[in-house]
Structure 1
């Protein structure tokens, strides 16, 4: 029988699990055991299993001995292109029997011995070119001796022989499928790049994608491919086409030009029900929607479809007509809860706003009350913000959702006065205050709540573990004007003005980047080519949007390169005929797209910027990051603790907490493991109380979810760690108890 499988436990290698092996035997022969088959596997799927539980049934490492946990082995990819900068890896390794599969920060695929870290083979999807882009993991499939790793490199989907590391020629064209095919735009001009791995249902790989966040972006189709051949089997349109459910929530022709509403965080599967679940981001443009009036399904929605056909089953929209980039950033957790005296299979969805949505798995109905409440109107011309938004009453928000003046930081009298002046000058009416031309405070922010790391769920206790971020930012809208001239400037000065307008909020005035993974742009000469820089600007990637329209003419290309590569000897460029070409469509948009020339265009020129004081310090008092345990049956909190620390801002023994994207892993040993804080520590907490039991210093920033597995009777915790100046490619580090 053809099937997607997880690695089964070998009796001789797992003496501590003899009891469950008996249950597994009964399950195979007479279905007498109702426990999930994933319980008996290693970490064979992204986030542990098809339910995205991030749970390990292993208990060799536990509360009593975790203090002895120590480094067991290190694998270093050493694949950075000469002169490359340090990179972060978000890969959550999978383990099949005794082989660990992972991707490096550059996007190269590696197979290593899970017991020693020794390299078995590697595959470079970029064939020696620079490569890169965010990759959070890979997918494994087998049928007898046919064993495959499915993963994406750039805009290509690869099938690689899991034993040899060689592309499987019968898959697609010489082992790869072009993901640009089947989209709306010209395949030769667009770039559709998934960041999270797909999930398997029988012989289907179901895959979301990452698309641009600007006007004219590609739509966020969710697609299924035949694992053997690479053939496209079905497509679910997240921007519904005529005759499809949800089409009426958009302008009639919006499906021709609207983009986004994409699943970039991963998927979950209920194989017995033949249901696949995914969560989507906002439609484009994220902060202004005059060309997409309506609720905009299936943007910002939890969606269930038939895994075999892609047919719509149900949805729940968490934000109507999103204007805040409030994407649903992680795969839903499939959970079972006690509700009204009975067990219910449910879906638990984390969010950037700090709400946790708990929905019936079969119907999409919320298990706890949700109120549609009036929210503020937009004051940006042409915008029609949706008048209400859903507010779950339980569980209570796991991130702060409202700021008062008492919350403003007070490093000094001058600093506080300055922050208060900014705070009072901004429009701020709570969670759903729309962006404005005069400036709006956004909180908990587009980096708030929780991110792609998602949550971990322990079925034995019914507790869900999730981190939270409080990261306010300022949204300031500006109308795009096509004919605003720039007086005589040198090419370098023009480049500086472009950088200041579009890049400074993420990379900083000093171009040093920040702790959220926005890289330093200093010293580009000698470590990256001008062509690679232009490709990155045009295509974007990760948090960075596509800026192809910003540098749409040769002079602007020359200008931004002159500034970034510190070349001040360029000759003057003369008069610029405009500040910014009106953004109508991304590079390669379909010529059949409806023209929207008559509509105004606004950009949030401070998107992803921070609310900080003049010295770059957070503008609000801590905590800035927390870790929570939530009882999904009752909706109550078991505990909450601060996660991470900025020692320079610490008051007494109380840590500050830190923002971060990586998520937790929970184990049967009573532990919650989590990294992803900028002081470069890896921690373990008591899953029942939140007490910190162990921490270790790492050589770099570990912006990834940990995995846990067992080989030859030994349990390991493994984590991808980012690069440093000494080791730019980073590493994979495995921890275990001493022999």
Structure 2
């Protein structure tokens, strides 16, 4: 006979099981009603029954719990196999609670006889019952440990392989350029992010150490800065100097071998700008030389006086600082108030002969809907022998009354306008007459363009017309050029070809990254190719002469039901070379515990989800991949010698919920988080029928609802169009509640670098590390801790001391929440 009253410990265990069981029971009923798994409901019922048995001091509670633990293990393996992190989310609470139930003070409370005294017979019976009751549950927990160990030894998300060591060089990596230089954002106008330098190899890269460390002094300045205030710069290296820009628009020259500051220029941007982003990804460089014909098109002045709006005049009337009378070479700096400033790389002074004597171009010329800060070039401009070609970012999802996404070409020496390509008026590229304006609200190009001067084309990655999630009112030209790669003729600005990556884009799948131009051997023929990475995970390989696919692209069915009043495309283009993830299922849901995993399953069932290209809806749609993108502005790095690409796919689901608007003034989605000062009211979509709520698909604990990995590095054979190797990459050390370096695979933002020595570098993962990888196999070879988030693309060059340097910018990223910094760090092998 047992005691009728349990002790305090047993009461605590009963209450714990009852509380957990009740939560699972209530949530399980909700999930089952939505058509989901019955496991949680049944588990909740069993835990409630166990709590009653514990309170009544019934030893059968442990037997019943053993059966529950075994059923949970079997169900978990059935759902996700031997995949450790999904298993852990299903088993952790059950396992820990099982250990507590096996604790001696629990078991003895259940097996000690009433009035058991100290006689030997009673003690023996208690000991026998103690051992007998523990065996089933202990055995199940041991089996659980064995299954977990087995899962640690498997790599279900890994692809192992080896890229070829070297092909015949079809694409001269540097041309006439010195191998040790880095004079353009992607090293050349082809955007490969490849350097032929080979001093650093897989055999010696572990010897890299910090050579110098520079602080810019530029950090976020409080509430007046937008959330996405980011240090994303990739420095240029020309001669013995590095040139970079900072988030608050300073331009800095450093000694390339010592990191010492040589000069600094403050662009003195206008105040109170309506900024969605505050960043500068890099500068552009013109090396001088003989002038080339600009095509003979009519030109116009680009001085500081802007007749369209006094606000725009204010934006370009800022004092520009000391002037250089002669600039044989020039640096071009895009500013947050809509200017392009030309600087002398020798001394940082403004080039007097550029921009009609002002040293700058005013990008607000002929723009509609002038709101300083709502348009500027966040990315470096394209520079050719005769032109600079400029796109710009237009505010996303603020209103339907934004400025134009026009692409313009200016004379590289004078800053005079040569041609303009307005997607709203695509056939007329001559400069506009006085009083005329470009098409409002047209698709823009905020990312980096590439250029092939031998073919006479610039390749422009396009976004779509705002708002992103509502397309019923888009014009025919907006439909044609949105989310496309557009090849423009360098001489005239006219369209040579267009390739659309998404039809009727409702997902913010704008083309985010610089196209990479490389000559490939495909099907036995040499093809001048363009490789375009996209947010939805496609790598399109096109013939850059014609825009026709060099690797197969097929139109595949897409979800067909749109929000009332809009429409969708019934098919979408899918490349042979695709990082499109498997479709999410209820079993794909994750969480730190059974409870938040249950919450994720409930939300998954409540949302509309029919796979990739599920349209936004008032119900709320699950968008996967989300608008963070499988690939974003960092793009990929292409090794022309291996005919291969180093890529960094990321996988995060987002929720897109349309919110009906009744007027054009009410804040429907900002709530209590309305923008400070002049910052824009993002996602309100004033003028459209819907605002939009956009947010990552997270559990109540703030971790992704989809199971990891969330980020990889992958090597791609571009000739054959196949993924050769793919490994999860990065840890949650800097992004989890517990700062533990679990290697779960995390997203990155910022591009990779590939070198002729067969080593790739990446610093953009959301843990604060720069890492080196074997290009052939993807093996991680080296890592170094960064003082802040490294959301920028590294670069490399040869110093005057004969050492190859790797430079990383570590400044953090506001939207990702990585640590803010102002660091520029150079690594090199020890001197001989």
Q: Could you say which TM-score interval applies, normalised by the shorter chain?
A: 0.7 to 0.9
CA shift digits 1:639-659 (9 cap, x unpaired) = 111121115699999721111
State the match for 2:636 in structure 1.
455
Q: Which residue of 2 aligns with 1:147?
A: 329
Q: Matches of 2:470 and 2:564 in 1, distance apart?
A: 10
Question: Do 1:77 and 1:729's aligned partners in 2 also have CA atoms closer than 8 Å?
Answer: no
Number of positions where the alignment pairs a residue of Structure 1 with one of Structure 2: 600
Structure 1 distance, partners of 2:741, 2:332, is 47
Structure 2 vs 1, CA of residues 277 and 257 (structure 1 numbering), >3 Å: closer, same or farther?
closer
Q: Distance in 1 between matches of 2:385 and 2:246?
A: 28
Shift of residue 729, structure 1, vs aligned partner = 5.3
TM-superposed deviation, 1:45: 0.4
Q: Is 1:716 matched with 2:805?
A: yes
Secondary structure of 1:64's aligned partner: coil
**Which position in structure 2 is the counterpart of 1:408?**
589
Which residue of 583, 593, 597 corresponds with 2:686? Answer: 583
Separation (CA, whole Å) in 2 of partners of 1:102 and 1:261? 28
Q: What aligned pairs does 1:51-200 form with structure 2 within 5 A after superposition?
A: 51-80=190-219, 88-126=230-268, 133-143=278-288, 146-154=328-336, 155-172=338-355, 173-186=357-370, 191-200=374-383
Give the superposition deviation at 1:407: 1.2
Q: 1:736 matched to which residue of 2?
A: 828
Q: Structure 1 pair 650/405, CA: closer, same or farther in 2 (3 Å)?
A: farther
- TM-score (structure 1 length as normaliser): 0.76
Shift of 1:534: 1.6
1:266 corresponds, among 409, 434, 448, to 448
**Residue 334 of structure 1 contacts residue 348 of structure 1 at CA under 8 Å; is this kept in 2?**
yes
C-alpha contact (below 8 Å) 2:807/2:827 kept by paired residues:
yes
Distance 1:711 1:694 in 2: 21
TM-score (norm 2): 0.68
Larger Rg: 2
Mapping of residues 480-495 of structure 1, within 5 Å: 480-482=661-663
Please state whether the residue corresponding to 1:424 is helix, strand or coil.
Answer: helix
Instruction: Provide Cα deviations, 1:232-289, integer angstroms capped at 9, x if missing partner.
Output: 1111123345779xxxxxxxxxx98662421111111111111111111122210001
Q: Which moved more, 1:160-169 or 1:175-184?
A: 175-184
Aligned to 1:500: 671
Offset, 1:217: 2.2
Residue aligning to 1:212: 395
Once the 2 structures are TM-superposed, how far is the Cα of residue 463 of structure 1 from its aligned partner?
0.6
**Alpha-carbon shift at residue 80 of structure 1 (Å):** 4.5
Deviation at 1:369, TM superposition (A): 2.1
Distance in 2, matches of 1:730 and 1:34, equals: 32
Paired position in structure 2 for 1:29: none
Q: Which residue of 2 aligns with 1:353?
A: 536
Cα distance, 1:410 vs structure 2: 4.1
State how far apart, in whole Å, the 1-side matches of 2:820 and 2:762 are: 23
Q: Which structure: greater helix fraction?
A: 2
Which residue number corresponds to residue 573 of structure 1?
A: none
Please state if 1:675 is matched with 2:763: yes
C-alpha contact 2:457 2:490 (8 A) present in aligned 1: yes
- Please give the alpha-carbon distance, in whole angstroms, between the structure 1 residues aligned to 2:742 and 2:819: 33
Contact 2:812 2:821 in 1 (8 A): yes
Contact in 2 for aligned 1:220/1:239 (Cα 8 Å):
no
Q: Are the aligned partners of 1:212 and 1:260 in contact in 2 as well (CA < 8 Å)?
A: no
Give 1:614's aligned residue. Answer: 700
Q: Which moved more, 1:368-377 or 1:466-475?
A: 368-377
Q: How many Å apart are 1:461 and its aligned residue?
A: 0.5
After TM superposition, give the deviation of residue 128 of structure 1 in Å. 9.3
Structure 2 counterparts to residues 369-448 of structure 1, below 5 A: 369-392=552-575, 394-395=576-577, 397-448=578-629
Q: 1:256 to 1:112 in 2, by over 3 A?
A: closer
Conserved? CA contact 2:180–2:798, under 8 Å? no
Where does the alignment leave 5 or more consecutive residues of structure 1 unmatched?
A: 1-32, 245-254, 486-494, 504-520, 522-532, 539-544, 551-581, 585-599
The 8 Å contact of residues 541 and 550 in structure 2, kept in 1 or not, is answered as yes
- Which 5+ residue runs of structure 2 have no aligned equivalent? 1-171, 290-326, 430-436
Secondary structure of the equivalent of 2:479?
Answer: coil
Quote the residue 2:680 is aligned against.
Answer: 537
RMSD of aligned Cα (Å): 3.0
Following TM superposition, the consecutive aligned residue runs of length 4 or more in structure 1 with deviations greater than 4 angstroms are: 80-87, 127-132, 241-244, 255-258, 647-654, 723-729
Deviations 1:350-407 (A, max 9, x none): 0000011000111111122222223223442210222221122x11x22415211221
Change in 2 beyond 3 A, CA 1:702/1:534: same
In the other structure, the counterpart of 2:498 is 315
1:180–1:191 CA contact under 8 A, matched in 2: no
Q: State the match for 1:624 in structure 2.
A: 710
TM-superposition CA deviations, 1:428-472 (whole Å, max 9, x none): 111111001111000010012110001100011011111111110
